[in-house]
Amino acid sequence: MLIMNILLPVFFHSAMGGLHLHILSSLKVFLREGHEVTVVCKPGPFADEVRKLGGQVVETDYSSEDVQCVIDQIRSQPFDVVYAHPFDARQFGLAVAEANAIPFVLVIHGMYYDEIEQYHPSVSRVIAVSERIATHLTEHCPEIESKLTVIPNGVDATFVPSEETSPSERIVGLFTSRLDADKLFILDVFLDALEDETVRSLPIDWLIIGDGTQRDKYAERYEAALAGTGQNIEWLGWLEQSQLPEAMRRADFVIGPGRSALEGMALGKPTIAVGSKSYQGLVTPSTWQDIASTNFGGIGNKYEGYSPGQIGEAILELMDETKRRNLASFSATLVDQHFRDEQSQQRLLEVLEQVIEEGAREIDLVERYPHIRYDQLHARRSNRICTWKLTDREQRLEETRDELVTTKRQLDQMLMMNEEQSLEIEKLRMELQRLSDETE
């Protein structure tokens, strides 16, 4: 077996989430198989978790100045392959891979291109996590089709069904998502469920797993939606991965995106898939392939593709105990057949081994230097011009705001004067009326 030294750069905004779990799952298998892994990431709980698992960590805030130092540190190490995640991490990983003439593998998780048309010749493989994401990429950049492979997200072996419990008069619905600005569509669809008149009359108690910047705002909206229904919400907050199976087993059905949807299914829970880009609905024998092709809601048109009441109809279907039981069995079997993490990670290892055996396309850096230098200088000048224009625009907006404030103040003064004059006129009118009455 080929022992690999893997460089794994990743960039993220949230402290933890689905992306982080995706990487940690890969890291566990890489290390178990004897490979060396160095993760380049921001400091924080994710970096700490990587260290606990036994991976090496190089921390960076991904500022331009800091990345320059990290590149110098990384370039001297004998990596065999770069396995990168998108955006800032891709930029970093691609620079190292090109300079060191090693293979570069990029994974795409959602509905974006990450400017792949600019650098596709330097990419050894592109991994998409679903079929529709792969199609989305090839439509934008046909040149990568021969390098593209689909490896779906997988679910950890700890997510398995528990023994069936006795039916209860009340149903437990579980909603799980990060509660951040990039998940507003998901949060709004769940709000639509709570506000649906049909759902409001059902004997459902709700569990919510997740946390984020939008929690307070949506907690208020969710509680208001349940007022007078007899339903209640229990907030479980953000849970560690090890805590999730036990918490999710409390539910009779699950509403969630991507990995969360798969985890619910693995536990034998009927699942309604709603992702950051689309509502996909109830996962059934007739719908699962289409839903999986979007990575359970990662492709779509958000609100344009959703009609109010859709999720309420799906929830109403799940009030049938027989249907829930049948979907529970189907969901668990489906995950075992197609979406177990071990299967996905072994396929990923095979891809990394293949690109190392194939070798990287060598780049004549001296030949390319003038072009790269021009692009760099051009980009810097463009950024500077944009900064000037934005500064000028902000200044003009500030002046306009000041003018509006002054105009409003003048209008307020005029209104006050008009009110005073109106009062004076009214007094005069009343005085004239009094004098007229006395004359008569």
pLDDT at residue 166, rounded to an integer:
66
Give dist(CA 38, CA 70) in Å, integer: 12
Task: Give the bridge partners for 125, in sequence order.
Answer: 105
Task: Give the bridge partners for 41, in sequence order.
Answer: 59
Reading the block at residue 98, the tokens are 């090109």
CA atoms within 13 A on the CB side of 437: 6
Give dist(CA 153, CA 292) in Å, integer: 10
Identify residue 348 by its one-letter amino acid code: L
- What would you measure as the largest C-alpha separation in the chain, in angstroms? 119
> Which of the listed CATH numbers 3.30.70.2200, 3.30.1490.270, 3.30.2130.10, 3.40.50.2000 matches domain 5-154+342-363?
3.40.50.2000
Q: Find where tokens 């392939």 sit.
A: 289
Give dist(CA 75, CA 431) in Å, integer: 94
pLDDT at residue 322, rounded to an integer:
94
Give dist(CA 11, CA 15) in Å, integer: 11
Can you say how many angstroms the Cα of residue 153 is from the centroid of all Cα atoms in its chain? 14
CA-wise closest residue to 17 among 242, 218, 179: 179
CA-wise closest residue to 319 among 196, 201, 142: 201
CA-wise closest residue to 343 among 181, 187, 156: 156
pLDDT at residue 440, rounded to an integer:
67
pLDDT at residue 371, rounded to an integer:
73
CATH architecture under which domain 171-339 falls: 3-Layer(aba) Sandwich (3.40)
pLDDT at residue 54, rounded to an integer:
95
- Start-to-end CA distance of the chain, whole Å, equals 119
Q: What is the pTM of this model?
A: 0.78
pLDDT beneath 50: ranges in the chain: none
pLDDT at residue 308, rounded to an integer:
95
